[in-house]
Structure 1
Amino acid sequence: MSAASARRVLVTGAASGLGAALVAAFRERGDEVLATDRVEADGIDLVLDITSDADWEAAVAAVERRWGGLDVLVNNAGVAGGGRIDRTTIEEWRRITEVNLFGVVRGVTAFTPMLKAQGSGHVVNVASLAGLVHPAGMGSYNATKAAVVAFTETVGHELAGFGVRASAVCPSYFRTNLMASMEGSDTALGEIVKGLVERSPITAEQVAAAVLAGIDAGDDVIVPDEPARQAFALKWADRAAYDQVMRAQAAKLEEAGRE
């Protein structure tokens, strides 16, 4: 499909942040978008709780009625979380895994029969730089996002024979309201991450533009911002330096947690 072709797109978590920016970017280029979120809000076409199998079944039915098929499925919805190993409860692990991993799995599973039957499509799963680079204090978040990257690669391999592509999106910190979903026992980690988000010069609109460019290019892994690209490059180019940076960050987090 050429970059100029209008596409039929479903976006989850579309009420705000990157989801809203993606909806606006797709529509600006002439695509038709079904904007979904777990609650009713301005600009939302369909209520879709990504942890609900019934909601995903309803979303597939809505797409079938509206368009008869789907060109791009964007699994964007997710929550923030994390915490040091001894400060994170199993319930916190369950919550973040249910949303960030199983929400994506449910979406892909629900739409795979349609994509296979039509012989085309593109699955776009929003992960995080945390899926490629694993900072201290974010074990649960890192694990879910790394799983999304691995799952997306698997989807791409399985569905390639049916004309379907799959891309994982891995941005670093950018200005968004994701921190509103941050829950966890490790308050020191929450304050640090909140500061990184608030100080980031990168906007959701910039990330959305890079995501669309990556989709058009057919990139399997879309790393949409320069800080993310630099961090990932350091890990591969100089593992010792990368480990030193990550362990220094871990020490700072431990110190902040004692204050």
Structure 2
Amino acid sequence: METTQETTANPVPTGRRVLITGAASGLGAALAEAFTARGDTVLRTDRAEGADLRLDITSDDDWARARDHVMETWGGLDVLVNNAGVAGGGRLDRATIEEWQWITDINLFGAVRGLRTFVPLLKEQGSGHIVNVASLAGLVHPAGMGSYNAVKAAVVALSETTGHELAAYGVRCSVVCPSYFRTNLMDSLQGADAALGEVMSSLVTNSPISAEQIAAEVLAGMDRGEEVIIPDEAARGAWSLKQNDRVGYDAVMRKQAAKLDRMG
């Protein structure tokens, strides 16, 4: 998979009109601050308090209102950041169908709804940049995280497709694949597999990487024209292992699976 495009000689754009979902906290809030520091104008959307505009990404009506707001306020959009999402997972014999449906509707179809809402506008204006926040789980697939891995891998595939479809219209697409970093994502964690939840929460809490560091790397990756932004060393190492040493990668993943089973 290609992870970069040739860097352009053009200056880094500022003054962009940016809509970010899930921007009341976590990575979304960090991205909002990073874009604002660049001189961009940011519309922070979220279903939680603290946003500029309420947007439940599972609601077609909310997306329509967001588009109306963007057109009435700005007359167009330069950057759409599909960031909002939830944490979940569970081993195959423990995660329920309801859990699979819940995480798919939010983490995958939330991004799909965002694209369906704004792609016609971006095509019409002949410019724009879409940023879909996926996860390292979209590229490497640990045991116990089947539903999370599946939806994040789908977001990676969706992003590549988006880039191909919209290139002729002057619209770019990047997908972001970070490893664990400190955020409040675990507040949304649902699932019957308590052992998996314990592992995920520990990895997030003990990560040395902050949301602000990830946000800075996202903007740097956009500046470089990267289609797949892998913003931290841990993520780059895991992806490199899978690409270059599949036997070693499988051994690591199956060791983790065995450890999870020992937890009960």
Task: Tell me which interval the TM-score lies in, with the shorter structure as reference length.
Answer: over 0.9
Amino acid at match of 1:28: A
Q: How does 1:231-250 map to 2 (within 5 A)?
A: 231-250=238-257
2:23 — aligned with what?
A: 14
Matches within 5 A, 1:37-56: 37-39=46-48, 41-42=49-50, 44-56=51-63
Alignment of 1:94-105 (within 5 A): 94-105=101-112
CA shift at 1:7, angstroms? Answer: 0.7
5+ residue gaps in structure 2? 1-9
| Pick aligned residue for 2:96 from 81, 85, 89 | 89
Distance 1:250 1:133 in 2: 14
Partner of 1:148: 155
**TM-score normalised according to structure 2 size:** 0.96
Task: Give SS of 1:241's match.
Answer: helix
Shift of 1:6: 1.4
Residue 215 of structure 1 deviates from its aligned partner by 1.1
Identity of aligned residues (%): 68
- Residues 12-37 of structure 1, C-alpha deviations (whole Å, 9 max, x = no match): 00010000000000001110000000
User: CA RMSD of the aligned region, Å?
Assistant: 0.7
Higher relative CO (CA 8 A, sep ≥ 6), structure 1 or 2? 2
Mapped to 1, the partners of 2:259 and 2:233 lie a distance apart of 24
Alpha-carbon offset, residue 255 of structure 1: 0.4
* 1:160 equivalent in structure 2: 167
Q: Deviations over 1:116-162 (max 9, x none)?
A: 00000000000000000000000000000000000000000000000
The match for 1:192 is 199
Q: How many residues align?
A: 255
- Tell me how far 1:226 sits from its aligned partner: 0.3
Q: CA deviation at 1:2?
A: 3.3
DSSP-derived class of the 2:42 partner: strand
1:30 corresponds to: 39
Match of 1:49, as an amino acid?
D
**Match of 1:32, as an amino acid?**
T
Q: TM-score, normalised by structure 1?
A: 0.97
**Partner residue of 1:256?**
263
- Residue 216 of structure 2, aligned match among 209, 222, 243: 209
Deviation at 1:5, TM superposition (A): 2.5
